[in-house]
Amino acid sequence: SAAPQVRIYEVGPRDGLQNESKFVPTDVKIELINKIAAAGIKNIESASFVSPKWVKQMSDGVEVMKNLPRAPGVNYPVLIPNLKGYDTAKQCNIEEVAIFPAGSEGFSQKNLNCSVEEGLRRFKLVADQAIKDGLRVRGYVSCVVGCPYDGPIHPKGIAKITEQLLEMGCYEISLGDTIGVGTAGSVRRLMREVLAVAKPEQLALHFHDTYGQALSNLLAGLEFGIKTVDSSISGLGGCPYARGASGNLATEDLVYFLYGLGANTDVDLVKLIEAGRYISNYLGKPTDSKVNRAIGFY
Ligand code: HMG
Ligand code: MG
């Protein structure tokens, strides 16, 4: 079949850094985002406006978004939990927000301090306001395969939440395997259910690589015609409310994988690797990108 066209949605500055316990200064966050943009990535989730009592690392969202230079043609969405976060983000020249109901009750309680239903109700308030203000809204569903508290998750419930997010006006729904327990088999079962309510171009795939399955899961998803993939520079990340979950699929590994499929990504892998090394060096830990580790540019 023809080489896929894939839209890369970078989540490292948000999903990646939110998991780092030592505070990363605002200028380092901005420099990381700039380096990712310079490598040719066109969608970079750059901050979240969640409660600083819950995620201290993201408490400088205003400073990040107010001081971040916008590169032409680059989209800088932010993650929003409620209207309070939305009102703050609105002051920072944003064009896209992401809302994030959970796919399981247990994770909803730990991550949002409310039920799935109550979360959906709050996120609808955000989506309604954002759409009224002319912004784009992206939806995440977390724990689409398994939950650290509730165990395996049935894809029917995930399809239902996906449908509700589309009704709220989300232009795209990112299916998040928050804890990275998915396999090609469970991803196929999920795709069959979700594609009964959504078109493939309305979906994105968001894999964490805890069990090393992210790339095979991705291949399974791409076979259903999915066009957008979330990834994180240097494989940073995890989730503060999902202990043991490892980082996202690394953006460097994704780009190498897409090169292999003959997909045109317009991404400069050398610059991407430099961006990954910049943040790994800053954090003082080895990269979680296999490609970054393997390639000896220096
Ligand atoms: P709560 O404690 O129930 O909220 O938290 P509350 O309304 O009772 O407020 C508590 C305090 O927080 C109050 O302050 C509020 O003003 C303040 P106080 O009166 O005590 O001084 N507050 C805020 N401050 C700033 N910005 C806000 C905000 N909201 C309340 N937006 C809440 C509920 C949703 C706020 C909390 O649970 C929260 O912030 N959760 C977010 C946790 C988070 O960021 N998790 C990681 C992101 S999700 C993820 O990574 C998964 C994903 O990548 C997909 C995947 O991997 O599958 C998306
Ligand atoms: Mg995530």
- For the CA of 82, the closest atom of ligand 1 is 31
- For the CA of 18, the closest atom of ligand 1 is 46
Residue 201: pLDDT band by 50, 70, 90 thresholds? very high
* Confidence (pTM): 0.97
> Does 51 contact ligand 1 (Cβ within 6 A)?
yes
Summarised one tens digit per residue, pLDDT across range 272-295 is 999 999 999 999 999 999 999 998
Instruction: Give the closest residue (by CA) to ligand 1 atom 15.
Output: 51
Q: Predicted ipTM?
A: 0.98
> Does 18 contact ligand 1 (Cβ within 6 A)?
yes
Summarised one tens digit per residue, pLDDT across range 99-154 is 999 999 999 999 999 999 999 999 999 999 999 999 999 999 999 999 999 999 99
Q: Tell me how long the chain is.
A: 298
> Does 115 contact ligand 1 (Cβ within 6 A)?
no
pLDDT of 1 reads: 58
Distance (Å) from CA 113 to ligand 1 centroid = 8
Cβ burial of 160 (10 Å; 0-12, 13-18, 19+) is middle
Catalytic residue among 92, 147, 170, 239: 239
Distance (Å) from CA 262 to ligand 1 centroid = 41
Buried b / exposed e over 169-200, threshold 16 CB at 10 Å, is ebebbbbbbbbbbbeeebbbebbebbbebbee
Q: Is 92 a catalytic residue?
A: no
| Three-state secondary structure readout of 243-280 | CCCCCECEHHHHHHHHHHHCCCCCCCHHHHHHHHHHHH
Q: Do 210 and 179 contact (CB within 8 A), yes or no?
A: yes
- For the CA of 11, the closest atom of ligand 1 is 53
